[in-house]
Amino acid sequence: MKPIKVGLLGIGTVGAGTFTVLKRNAEEISRRAGRRIEITMVADLDVARALALTDGECEVVNDASLIINHPEIDIVIELIGGAGIARTLVLQAIANGKHVVTANKALLALHGNEIFKAAQEKGVIVAFEAAVAGGIPIIKVLRESLTANRIEWVAGIINGTTNFILSEMRDKGIDFTTALSGAMQLGYAEADPTVDIEGIDAGHKATLMASIAFGIPVQFGKAHVEGITKLQSVDIGYAEQLGYRIKLLAIAKRTPLGIELRVHPTLIPTRRLIANVEGAMNAVLVQADAVGATMYYGKGAGAEPTASAVIADLIDISRLFTAQPDHRVPHLAFQPDAMTDTPILPMAEITTSYYLRMHVADQLGVLATVTRILADSDISIDAMLQKEPAGGASETDIIILTHLTQEKCVDAAIARIEALATVIGKVTRIRLEELE
């Protein structure tokens, strides 16, 4: 059969990995795909580097439009990143009848509805396994393998940079800034780490998982996104003493009121498998009604792990090449006319448990007043830790874990607690998920 011709936009780390793996495993891949898959053109602004990486095996250009307008290119791989020029190029490739493979989570989280609609109308595939959790095939799992189930929730550690930083903070007892600079030196964090450490990258990925888990449009703007920059090592230590580990968790949960879609530092019981995912590794835990809990673990970034996902998409498209568009797997798992408008809940309406730390004057009645405020706010206490004041000190920390409660009750209680003359400074609040 005629080989599938692929054009690659952007030959950075993942592009180079894709080129290498496609070449190394060419025979095995064509046995699976039923035909050869060949990258015949590469577009990159750094032509000299692209020429060196491709070593004369394909045409190298510095103008992406030469690929997306080329009549012989069947599939365009978009590895440019960002939601700017990548959006224009992907929409143009779709308009030209090309299938698209992308690792671009920002693009799909922000413009996915527009892109999938255009692809649907044109009868082409936009595949994005590499956009979420790198080498872990979580898109395939949610979209194809668990289709018998009603998915209840998805909880993931889907940002390696922040997981590495949190592991370092816990293992070495260092603060966030020191751990971040170590991560940068070791290449685990970008020169500008903002999208990772502020939780934005995980928010993009969670948005995509929520859409395919529940059949809702892509709505990054309604996700609650909170990173790890304000996390203090003292809280990591107290959490450990109480049997919990703090992770940047991405949560997409179906509730009777709507969908919770949130990314924030979260206490997880240390006995859970996912709490023990350390360093730059990723993991996603899925709770579904028929199968129960399943967990997927692996490398969420890197040249060849991400290439593994990109090439799996290429093979899927090659296999589906001749299938009628309406016989293919829907982009967002559910048929386009069967998507629902179930609302994404505002944070005030979400339900979870909480870790609260307050610094208080060590005086008679302080604890009684705090617990009275919690009771008045419908918040039930699950556990408590009060440290003995350090020698000679007259202030101490109180740590309280709550049972499940609504965020708005906690907001109200914290406001009242912070107004007490005996409470010094702000109350630290970290959400807690038992993941049962």
Helical ranges in 173-259 per DSSP H: 176-185, 194-197, 200-214, 233-241
Binding segment toward ligand HSE, per CB under 6 A, in 67-75, 115-123, 156-164, 363-371: 156-164
- What are the counts of helices (DSSP H) followed by strands (DSSP E) for the chain? 15, 17
Rounded to 5 degrees, φ, ψ at 256 are -60, -25
DSSP state of 2: P
Residue 161 near ligand HSE by CB under 6 A = yes
End-to-end CA distance of the chain: 50
Binding mask 197-216 for ligand HSE (x = CB under 6 A): ----x---------------
Residue 15 near ligand HSE by CB under 6 A = no
Binding mask 25-44 for ligand HSE (x = CB under 6 A): --------------------
SS3 label, residue 68: helix
Binding segment toward ligand HSE, per CB under 6 A, in 37-45, 121-129, 153-161, 362-370: 153-161
In the bound complex, what is the minimum distance in angstroms from residue 289's beta carbon to ligand HSE? 29
Helical ranges in 248-352 per DSSP H: 303-320
Binding mask 294-323 for ligand HSE (x = CB under 6 A): ------xx----------------------
Number of residues that bind ligand HSE (CB under 6 A): 7
Distance CA 163, CA 168 (A): 9
Query: 20 with 27: CB under 8 angstroms?
Result: no
Among positions 18, 54, 159, 352, the unique one binding ligand HSE when judged by CB under 6 A: 159
Compute the residue count for the chain.
436
Q: Using DSSP bridges, classify how beta strands 37-43 and 99-102 pair: parallel, antiparallel or unpaired.
A: unpaired
Binding segment toward ligand HSE, per CB under 6 A, in 157-165, 171-179, 366-374, 406-414: 157-165
Among positions 160, 203, 215, 258, the unique one binding ligand HSE when judged by CB under 6 A: 160
Computed on alpha carbons and rounded to an integer, the radius of gyration of the chain in Å comes to 24
Q: Which is nearer to ligand HSE, 161 or 308 (CB)?
A: 161
Strand runs (DSSP E) across 221-276, as ranges? 224-225, 244-255, 258-269
Q: Which is nearer to ligand HSE, 201 or 304 (CB)?
A: 201
Nearest to 123 by CA among 92, 149, 97, 148: 97
In the bound complex, what is the minimum distance in angstroms from residue 306's beta carbon to ligand HSE? 8
In the bound complex, what is the minimum distance in angstroms from residue 183's beta carbon to ligand HSE? 9
SS3 label, residue 266: strand
Rounded to 5 degrees, φ, ψ at 295 are -130, 145
In the bound complex, what is the minimum distance in angstroms from residue 347's beta carbon to ligand HSE? 24
- Which sequence positions are flagged as catalytic? 205
Q: Which is nearer to ligand HSE, 215 or 300 (CB)?
A: 300
Binding mask 362-401 for ligand HSE (x = CB under 6 A): ----------------------------------------
**Please, what's the largest Cα pairwise distance for the chain?**
83
The token pair at 295 is 């967990």
In the bound complex, what is the minimum distance in angstroms from residue 114's beta carbon to ligand HSE? 22
Nearest to 430 by CA among 251, 285, 246: 246
Q: Which is nearer to ligand HSE, 164 or 238 (CB)?
A: 164
Note the residues at the interface with ligand HSE (CB under 6 A): 159-161, 196, 201, 300-301
